Amino acid sequence: MTVMLPFLRRIMPQLITLAVIVGLISFMFPGFFTISIANGRLYGIPIDILNRGAPVALLAIGMTLVIATRGIDLSVGAVMAICGATAAWGITEGYSLAATLAMALSAGLVCGLWNGFLVAVLGIQPIVATLILMVAGRGVAQLITEGAILTFNHEGLIFFGSGSLFTVPTPVIIGVAAGALATLVVRRTALGMLIEAIGINLRASTLSGVNTRVLLIAVYMTSGLCAALAGIIAAADIRGADANNAGLWLELDAILAVVIGGTSLLGGRFSLIASLIGALIIQAVNTGILLSGFPPEFNLIIKAVIILIILILQSPTMRSVVIFFSRDPAGAGEVEKETVVP
Amino acid sequence: MPQSDASQPLLRARGVRKIFPGTIALDGVDFSLEAGEVHALLGENGAGKSTLIKCLTGAYRRDGGDILLEGEIINPKGTIDAQAYGIGTVYQEVNLLPNLTIAENLSLGHQPTRFGMISVRDMNRRAREVLANYDLSVDVTRNLGSCSVAVQQVIAIARAVTLSGKVLILDEPTASLDSHEVGMLFDVIRSLKQRGLGIVFISHFLDQIFEISDRLTVLRNGRLVGTETTSDIDRLRLVNLMLGRELEEEIRPHGKDHTATGEPRFSFTGFGRKGSIAPFDLAIHSGEVVGVAGLLGSGRTETAEVLFGVSHHDSGVASRGEGTDLHLKSPRDAIAAGFGFCPEDRKTDGVIADLTVRENIALALQARIGWMRRIPDREQRAMANDYIRKLDIRTPDAEKPVGLLSGGNQQKVMLARWLATNPSFLILDEPTRGIDVGAHAEIIRLIEDLCAQGMSLLVISSELDELVAYSHRVIVVRDRHHVAELVGNEITTDNMVSAIAAPEKETVI
Amino acid sequence: MNARLLPLVATLVIFLVAYAICYAQYPVMLSTRVIGNLLTDNAFLGIVAVGMTFVIISGGIDLSVGSVIAFSGVFIAVMLRDTALHPMAVFAMLLVLTTLFGAAMGATIHLLEMPPFIVTLAGMFLARGMAYVLSIDAVPITHDFYDQMQSMYWLMPGKGRLTLIGGLMLVVFIVGIGLAHRTRFGMNVYAVGGGANTAALMGVPLGRTTTAIYAFSGLLAGIAGIVFSIYTSAGYSLATVGVELDAIAAVVIGGTLLTGGSGFVAGTLIGVLIMGLIQTYIIFDGTLSSWWTKILIGMLLFAFIVLQKGLVWTTGKKRAAGG
Amino acid sequence: AQTVGFSQIGSESGWRAAETTLTLQQAKDRGIDLKFADAQQKQENQIKAMRSFIAQGVDAILIAPVVATGWDSVLEEAKEAEIPVILLDRMVDSSDDLYLTAVGSDLVHEGSVAGKWLVDELAGKDCNVVELQGTTGSSPAIDRKNGFEQAIAGHDNIKLIRSQTGDFTRTKGKEVMESFLKAEDGGKNICALYAHNDDMAVGAIQAIKEAGLKPGSDILVVSIDAVPDIFQAMAAGEANATVELTPNMAGPAFDALAAYMKDGTMPPKFIQTESKLYTQADDPQAVYEQKKDLGY
Ligand SMILES: Nc1ncnc2c1ncn2[C@@H]1O[C@H](COP(=O)(O)OP(=O)(O)OP(=O)(O)O)[C@@H](O)[C@H]1O
Ligand SMILES: Nc1ncnc2c1ncn2[C@@H]1O[C@H](COP(=O)(O)OP(=O)(O)OP(=O)(O)O)[C@@H](O)[C@H]1O
Ligand SMILES: [Mg+2]
Ligand SMILES: [Mg+2]
């Protein structure tokens, strides 16, 4: 119990935000919580949010780790496209499902390796390093599909997008499983601390004997792997690889999810669970906009305003204002960040 | 109500309070500074000295109390305000911008302009003039980041001096200076004093306190212990005031008699790196402390960095014991060989500010064990608490982010990190920098204990007394060459000074 | 030579070599026409990249500029269509608007201690959203004043044109260089990039500087918007998607570090020209499929960055070894 | 041989890939040296490409303009350099003496063909229609919406109840359709779907199936483009109608160009391609077989 408390306190702002947004939608749309079973699959708006949020949630897992090392991965959208295209290509070429999946996942790992190599070995700044793959990656994906949407009808592969296991949609299961696995690996081993250490002070970590180079590469590879999973899901969902549009601009959503999840873009302390909730918040906003029936030209403004409100409420300044008003000088263990007022 | 009149002290703090979560850093502290005096501020690591001056200059928001300048209540909202009031400050960690040139750093905020444009020529000329007072001949168009910590420190001081119309505050300005620079600084301080400035001076070097200060104020655990006239107090009583107890032993100013013999544990032959340190030979025996002496910028840090693989050596070989060659291309190689290295610049090379004390202490050990086998929380906590006790690290608990600790305590955490790995050869670069008298004695005792347990140490220090106290051998570095080696009874301050100063290599080799 | 200039020189050398290679293959490359095009076609990108350089030197990033350019175009077009205002008056209103928009983002970044990436991302959504609300349709601009501005160019020998907007870009660069290296504001930008807290301790007015930086970027995005509207005589809410990434790439190729604190406005000009050169080369080649175009742009970006790093590194090393 | 520059918008959809493939094919068949430039969806890149073509001195320029506005000055430059320009598949709103001719379909007309089909199909029955728009602000999205609305205007039995953007993509088409279904009583409230392109329709069809409804009968599906995949859906009875936008714009363009080059014959200013309506009656499987290798 005592171990859970700081954890709960850490994700509380995200949980509250999610609750408020879900509350808003269900107020607007009273049928929100009705969940039924259609075609042997759970069916309802909350399920949609989970299901549609899964790719961004997956991306957010890798992105959280990358951002914790003070990096950023702009290429995840393009990597999704590459891996989706690889999967579609593999299955249409007649490879077995296992081989196809292996190829798609390896494609993600290779992309991650490339990014990691640029960042850790060549010392190129992460934004630029991953920008290269962001630009070129979509070209690679199109090269595989030759510009067309490569469709397939293999039930096994389609299962990853629109299948379900015990009535739960597969993407949700994959997302939850990946999140749980990543959390477990990162927190049960020393990886989490080492990643945070290199994010906060790379040089000091190297001097302390942390194998920063390998760790950085591994983190980018994880991001590539997550993007590969997301890419497979996205392709399986529409039964085709759309090299142009798969994952387009999703990197921004993933970064947003991480930031809403409270991980600083300057690296350091991170929380995977909070990022996952962040991904759900974003998807809830998107779904809410779709349900609202507003004309689409307002979509961006609504999204921007909601995001701004969320971020303003979560900003350190606001938090200290809240602490100030709640008259809790001990700050409940929270570290007051001294603002140096010039 | 206080009136503005001549009898008022120049700068006065009344009942200043500052509370951090879990710590009361300042608890109603009074402090007053007269014009034309040097007022020393003393106290153990974490006593609240830095916090007090940050409150005085508005860098921190106070939680209570008043600040009066010449009798008027002032409320500086930040450094700019403080500068406008004529208060110049050098904060504890060097606070300059490594990406700007020396001249730009000196003139930031008040650059000479002509028709609204900065006149670079004027700016550089002024910078050269200012630095001439400090006997520093550097290219002022060089990036500050390429200068050693010491040079940066001097520049920070020079900047603060040019900014201070009434008050100059120096937080541990001498921590990384050698005696020559310190002398220079004191000359400057004296001339400012003549001009009627009030100077606040923080240092852990009692000699310097006695040399320069007129009055002193002692803080302990955020509380005011007292203000005294320096000439009325003796060393022992001062230490007593600071620590609240007797200091058991002071440093013995003589070298070790014992000279290590037999097989060296590690030996380095022709080790060097072009452009940073000339090839040198070095043998390290078990249970031996090798001191390294030299002026600032002489290449002491470079020696350590080449040994630890931070910068790759491009000549020479290293070996363990008799034969086996050591491959030292990176810190990881060095750590695998049983080395440890506590770097000089703790802010950029040492602490991981946002990680907790516990994690910082466990880091090097964890890195060596590998990421798979996480040291269980319980063990980490036990280890951390153990070192917090042993090294007397002042922190409410092991879960405090290390960046929030006072400077000296951060230094101890770094030491703890390396002790936890139990290295056979530990390199310490300026380990006592910024450490209070009590802890200073403890660290020296620790060094002696470690070497008694058979650990080999290479200690770089600017404090020659300290080197004399614990070294079995002292290597003197000058101009990137190892120029002399003093053994046993030869290790005296005088010998070292003459070896450091000697223009030719005629000293004992 | 000053060590600080190394990245700049490296970039310049790479640009010249690349141009020489292109020239060897297509001699037309050196015609005034191509050179004029290079300036005109990249004018809006260059202008916005100057603002981006300041932002990046200060350690920030501004993702909103592409959307702000689109918004500017739509704003101008709609104002000119629906009101009788003179374009100059509309420009003035627009520049006030975009400057305030930038300032608001800067103030948010400073006051709420939020990362620039996120604040300007929201700004990016917001600005494009506003453009949609003004008009989803592309709105043509038909105004004599626009025709005049378009016909203002200097016909260089060889039929190349140095247009008004190309010239304007060069002026903006000169002003930008002066601002960066010869004013207190510029120095403060470098200082903030070197370390915001330290800069504050040294007396740099952090809030004012941050606000001013983003306001300046907003102003230049507005000017770029005007230039783009002259370039296309239209306002279109879907225009200039992703220009922020091009601008960032140009700034980085120009030798500015994304970590902040070091870089050159002049380098950005070369960066912009390099990007333009890559595109011109690909068009001249004319055999690349859509996907190979993308892959090649990525690879060339990579090559330039690696070359530049390599050059800086080897010369830096030689210098160290030499003494 | 002639050198012709071709400035393509990009490769954002299968349809456009097919257009590119066919253009290259046509050029090759006629022995024309085609310089291809992909603009990655950016008008500025298309203008750059045009200028570079002019600097290179090509014999003619084909351009598929990403947007109607903003071409005046570069078209003038081409005219000054005496290089004929032919517009493909989309129009520009510049004066028509600046280009030789435009080959394309009428986007508004396409929308109204789809609308008219629905009107006829319903024959007066009440029907709630949901609409999947293209990318907000793009001209096909605006025009196809207008055309459809014109066609259903005055038919009070047809109500457009929801309209959202699906960005012309399958993924978004599916996601938006899912939310339409949820919002409209599990889809029971919807009788027809109008999608601005086939890709979104294909995505939406999957969403309808996953919701346990039958596309094509429970919900009528009409869309535009006529890409091969929609014919498969039509063959399976899951889609009802599509309006063809032929990707072969280059053929007529090259014909007009050849005639002009030969003896200066001025082609008409607008060569409209047919907006053919395909329904399930048109043997969709056969059309699919015929179209599937065209590079869609
Ligand atoms: N920003 C902060 N947040 C929380 N606690 C802090 C912060 N800054 C200082 N402290 C705590 O306040 C106390 C006083 O610190 P301060 O830096 O003033 O000590 P000091 O006397 O300057 O010590 P030293 O000689 O080591 O520099 C310490 O216990 C420190 O841990
Ligand atoms: N007083 C000085 N004047 C000019 N340059 C200096 C001065 N002191 C140091 N430097 C420069 O700083 C650089 C780095 O010195 P470094 O810190 O490595 O030496 P060090 O012997 O370890 O000194 P310390 O550890 O005492 O700072 C050297 O290249 C030297 O040129
Ligand atoms: Mg201190
Ligand atoms: Mg040193």
**What whole-number distance in Å separates Cα of residue C68 and Cα of residue B412?**
51
Average pLDDT of the residues in A318-329: 60
Q: Which numbered atom of ligand 1 lies nearest the CA of B405?
A: 31
CA angle at A265 for the pair A260 and A271, rounded to the nearest 5°: 55
Out of A135, A256, A318, closest to residue C112 by CB: A318
Pair (A321, A288) in one structural domain: no
Domain assignment present for residue A4? The answer is no
**pLDDT tens sequence across B429-487:** 988 887 888 888 888 888 888 888 889 999 998 888 888 888 889 999 988 889 888 88
Of A27-31, A205-209, B382-386, B452-456, the range with the lowest mean pLDDT is: A27-31
* In contact, C42 and C272? CB cutoff 8 Å: yes
Q: What domain count does chain B have?
A: 3
- Rounded-to-integer distance, Cα D220 and Cα D242, Å: 11
Structural domain ending residue among the three candidates B243, B271, B286? B243
Average pLDDT over residues A193-219: 94
Contact B136 CB / ligand 2 (< 6 Å): yes
A266 touches chain C (CB under 8 A): yes
Please tell me whether residues B41 and B129 are part of one structural domain. yes
The answer to whether the CB atoms of D17 and A44 lie below 8 A apart is no
Q: Is any ligand 2 atom within 6 A of the Cβ of residue B296?
A: yes
Residue A18 to residues A11, A281, A284, A312, C138: CA-CA distances in angstroms?
11, 5, 8, 15, 37
What domain range is B486 assigned to? 249-338+423-509
Q: Are residues B37 and B186 in the same domain?
A: yes
Determine which residue's CA is closest to atom 25 belonging to ligand 2.
B301
Same domain, A304 and A206: no
Q: How close, in Å, is residue D138 to chain A by CA atoms?
A: 12
Residue B297 beta carbon below 6 angstroms from any ligand 2 atom: yes
Cα(B414) to ligand 2 centroid in Å equals 23
Residue with CA closest to ligand 1 atom 27: B407
Q: Do D18 and A240 touch (CB under 8 A)?
A: no
Specify whether B41 is located in the same domain as B116: yes
Give the whole-angstrom CA distance, residue B19 versus residue D129: 65
Query: D286 and D228 in contact (C-beta within 8 Å)?
Result: no
Distances in whole angstroms, Cα of residue A59 to Cα of each of A55, A138, C120: 6, 17, 21
Share of chain B above pLDDT 70, in %: 94
Same domain? For B235 and B140 the reply is: yes
Q: Do B21 and A196 touch (CB under 8 A)?
A: no
Helix, coil or strand: residue C153: strand
Q: Chain B contacts of A211, Cβ < 8 Å?
A: 332, 367
Domains of chain C: 3-313 (1.10.3470)
Residue A310 shares a structural domain with residue A195: no
Distance CA D213, CA C95 (A): 53
Give the integer Cα–Cα distance in Å for D180 and B35.
Answer: 78
CB contact at 8 A, C239 and C85: no
Pairing outcome for strands B87-90 and B167-171:
parallel
Q: Which residues contact D15 (CB under 8 A, 6 or more apart)?
A: D197, D225, D227, D245, D247, D296
CA D281 to centroid of ligand 2, rounded, Å: 88
| A298, A284: one domain | no
- C65: tokens are 């500029």
Residue of D nearest to A240 (CA): D170
A274 and A340 part of one domain: no
Residues B223 and B330 in one domain: no
Nearest chain C residue (CA) to B110: C184
Q: How far is CA D272 from CA B68, C263, D103, D109, in A?
A: 85, 54, 6, 11
Residues within 8 A of A (CB atoms), B 374-413 only: 374-375, 401, 404
pLDDT of residue B95: 79
* Residues of chain A contacting residue B341, judged by C-beta atoms under 8 Å apart: 207
Give the closest of D40, D70, D138 to C233, CB-based. Answer: D70
Quick check: B329 contacting A, CB < 8 Å? Answer: no
Task: Give the span between the Cα atoms of C321 and B11, in whole angstroms.
Answer: 51
Tokens of B89: 């400050």
What's the pLDDT at A327?
46
Provide the β-strand partners of residue B459.
B291, B428
Interface contact D25, partner C, CB < 8 A: no
Cβ atoms of C29 and C198 closer than 8 Å: no
Q: Whose CA is nearest to atom 31 of ligand 2?
A: B297
pLDDT tens digits, residue range B466-478?
888 888 899 999 8
Residues B260 and B364 in one domain: no
Q: What is the mean pLDDT of residues C48-72?
A: 96
In terms of domains, do A235 and A315 share one? no
A199 and A320 part of one domain: no
Q: Whole-angstrom Cα distance, residue D62 to residue D102?
A: 9
Of ligand 1's listed atoms, the one at least distance from the Cα of B408 is 26
**CB of B405 closer than 6 A to ligand 1?**
yes
Q: Which ligand is nearest to the CA of B46?
A: 1
Chains with 3+ CB–CB pairs under 8 A to A are: B, C, D
- Which pLDDT belongs to residue D258? 93
- Cβ of B294 closer than 6 Å to ligand 2, yes or no, is yes
**Higher pLDDT residue, A32 or A19?**
A19
Residue A202, in any domain of the structure: yes
- B204 in the same domain as B182: yes
Query: The tokens 């809830």 sit on which residue?
Result: A284
**Do both B507 and B374 map to the same domain?**
no
Does A147 contact chain C (CB < 8 Å)?
A: yes
- Alpha carbon A241 to chain centroid, angstroms: 20
Listed by number, the residues of chain B in 275-314 with a beta carbon closer than 8 Å to a beta carbon of chain C are 275
- Do A287 and A307 lie in one domain? The reply is no
- CATH number for the domain harbouring residue B150: 3.40.50.300
Q: CA B121, CA B303: separation in Å to the nearest integer?
A: 37
Does A5 score more than 80 pLDDT?
no
- State the residue range of the domain holding A302: 294-342
**What DSSP designation does D193 have?**
E
Q: Tell me, yes or no, whether A313 and A288 share the same domain.
A: no
Best of B16, B19, B20 for a ligand 1 pocket test (most atoms within 8 Å of beta carbon): B20
Mean pLDDT of D232-257: 93
Determine if ligand 2 sits within 6 Å of the CB of residue B83.
no
CA distance B464 to B462: 6
Residue D35 CB coordination number (10 Å): 23
C23: Cβ contacts below 8 Å, ≥ 6 apart:
C29, C30
Ligand closest to B140 (CA) is 2
Domain boundary residue, one of B243, B266, B287: B243
Supply the pLDDT for residue B187: 87
**pLDDT band (50, 70, 90) for residue C48:** very high
Contact across the interface for B100 and C191, Cβ inside 8 Å: yes
3-state secondary structure chain A: CCCHHHHHHHHHHHHHHHHHHHHHHHHHCHHHHCCEEECCEEECHHHHHHHHHHHHHHHHHHHHHHHHCCCCCCCHHHHHHHHHHHHHHHHHCCCCHHHHHHHHHHHHHHHHHHHHHHHHHCCCCHHHHHHHHHHHHHHHHHHHHCCCEEECCCHHHHHHHHCEECCEEHHHHHHHHHHHHHHHHHHHCCHHHHHHHHHHCHHHHHHCCCCHHHHHHHHHHHHHHHHHHHHHHHHHHHCEEECCCCCCCHHHHHHHHHHHCCCCCCCCCCCHHHHHHHHHHHHHHHHHHHHHCCCHHHHHHHHHHHHHHHHHHHCHHHHHHHHHHCCCCCHHHCCCCCCCCC
Which pLDDT does position A251 carry in this prediction?
93
Q: Which residues of C78-106 are buried (b: 16+ CB within 10 A; e: fewer)?
A: bbbeeeeeebeebbeebbebbbebbbbbb
Nearest residue of D to residue A294 by CA position?
D164
One domain for residues A287 and A331:
no
The answer to whether residues C50 and C173 touch, using CB atoms and an 8 Å cutoff, is yes
d(CA A337, CA A266): 15
- HSE value, Cβ hemisphere, 13 Å, CA-based, for D271: 23
User: Looking at the partner chain, which of A138, A265, A317 has a beta carbon nearest the beta carbon of C294?
Assistant: A138
Number of domains in chain A: 2
State how beta strands D101-104 and D85-88 pair. Answer: parallel
Q: Side-chain half-sphere of C192: how many Cα atoms within 13 Å?
A: 26
Q: What pLDDT is attached to residue A198?
A: 94
The answer to whether residue B6 scores a pLDDT higher than 70 is no
User: How many angstroms is it from B486 CA to the middle of ligand 4?
Assistant: 20
pLDDT band at A335 (very low <50, low <70, confident <90, very high): very low
Query: What ipTM was predicted for this assembly?
Result: 0.89
Say whether residue B340 is in contact with chain A using an 8 A CB cutoff: no
Residue A91 dihedral angles phi and psi, to the nearest 5°: -70, -35
B406 CA distance to ligand 3 middle (Å): 6
Q: Give the C-alpha separation, C177 to A237, whole Å.
A: 51
Report pLDDT for B81. 86
Instruction: Convert the pLDDT of each residue in B360-398 to its tens digit.
Output: 999 999 999 888 889 999 999 999 999 999 888 888 889
Is the dihedral angle over the CA atoms B125, B127, B131, B133 positive or is it negative? Answer: positive
Which ligand 1 atom is nearest residue A338's CA? 1
B478, B389: one domain: no
| Terminal C-alpha separation, chain B | 69
A chain contacts of residue C289, beta-carbon cutoff 8 Å = 147
- B305 lies in the same domain as B369: no
The rounded Å distance from CA A96 to ligand 3 centre is 66
Q: Are residues A163 and A234 in the same domain?
A: yes
| DSSP class of B348 | I
Same domain as B312, residue B273: yes
- D197 phi and psi angles, rounded to 5 deg: -150, 170
User: How confident is residue B55, by pLDDT bands cut at 50, 70 and 90?
Assistant: very high
